[in-house]
Chain A
Amino acid sequence: MAAPIVIVGAGQAAASFISRHVALGSQQPVLLIGEEAHPPYQRPPLSKKYLLGELERERLFIRPLEWYADQSIELRFDTRVDSIDRDHKKIITDDGESVEYDKLLLCTGASARSLPADIGGTLDGVFTLRSIVDIDKMSPQFQAGRKLLIVGGGYIGLEAAAASRQLGLEVTVLELADRILQRVAAAETSNYFRDLHSGHGVNLRESVRMTRLLSKDGAVRGAELESGEVIDADLVLVGIGSSPNTELAQAAGLDCDNGIRVNEICRTSDPVIYAAGDCTSFFRHGQQIRLESVQNAADQGDLVARVLAGEAVTYTALPWFWSDQYDCKLQIVGLNQGHNQTVVRPGADASSMSVWYYRDAELLAIDSMNEPKSYAFGRKIIEAGKHPTAAQVADPATDLKALAMS
Chain B
Amino acid sequence: MANITWIMEDGSEISAEVKDGLNLMEAATANNVPHIEGECGGCLSCATCHVFVDPEWFAKIGEIDDIEDTMLEMTDVEREDNSRLSCQIVASAALDGLILRVPEPE
Q: Mark B1-30, 1 if CB is under 8 A from A, else 0.
A: 000000000000000000000100010011
Contacts of B34 in A (CB 8 A): 23
* Bound Cα distance from A42 to B32, whole angstroms: 17
Count, A-B residue pairs, CB within 8 A: 53
Q: Judging by beta carbons under 8 Å apart, are B73 and A42 in contact?
A: no
Distance in Å from the Cβ of B30 to the closest Cβ of chain A? Answer: 5
B interface SS class:
loop
Distance in Å from the Cβ of B50 to the closest Cβ of chain A? Answer: 13
CB of B44 closer than 8 Å to a CB of A: yes
Q: Judging by beta carbons under 8 Å apart, are A64 and B30 in contact?
A: yes
Contacts of B29 in A (CB 8 A): 62-63
Best-surrounded residue of B47, B67, B73 (most CB of chain A within 10 A): B73
* A70-B74 contact, Cβ under 8 Å, with A45-B41, A329-B43: no
CB of A22 closer than 8 Å to a CB of B: yes
Q: How many residues of B contact A (CB 8 A)?
A: 21
CB of A59 closer than 8 Å to a CB of B: yes
Question: Can you name the residue of chain A whose Cβ is closest to the Cβ of B74?
Answer: A376
CB of B82 closer than 8 Å to a CB of A: no
Best-surrounded residue of A23, A44, A372, A375 (most CB of chain B within 10 A): A372
Q: Which residue of A22, A42, A67, A379 contacts B41 across the interface (Cβ within 8 Å)?
A: A42
For the A-B complex with A44-B40, A322-B43 known, give 14 more contacts whose Cβ atoms are closer than 8 Å.
A23-B34, A44-B41, A44-B43, A45-B41, A67-B32, A298-B39, A329-B45, A372-B67, A372-B70, A376-B70, A376-B74, A377-B73, A379-B74, A401-B73
- The 10 A-B pairs of least Cβ separation, nearest first, read A322-B45, A372-B70, A42-B41, A376-B74, A376-B73, A372-B67, A64-B30, A376-B70, A298-B39, A373-B70
Provide a sorted-by-A list of 14 A–B residue pairs whose CB atoms are within 8 angstroms: A42-B41, A59-B22, A59-B26, A67-B32, A294-B40, A294-B41, A295-B39, A329-B43, A373-B70, A375-B45, A376-B70, A377-B73, A380-B73, A380-B74
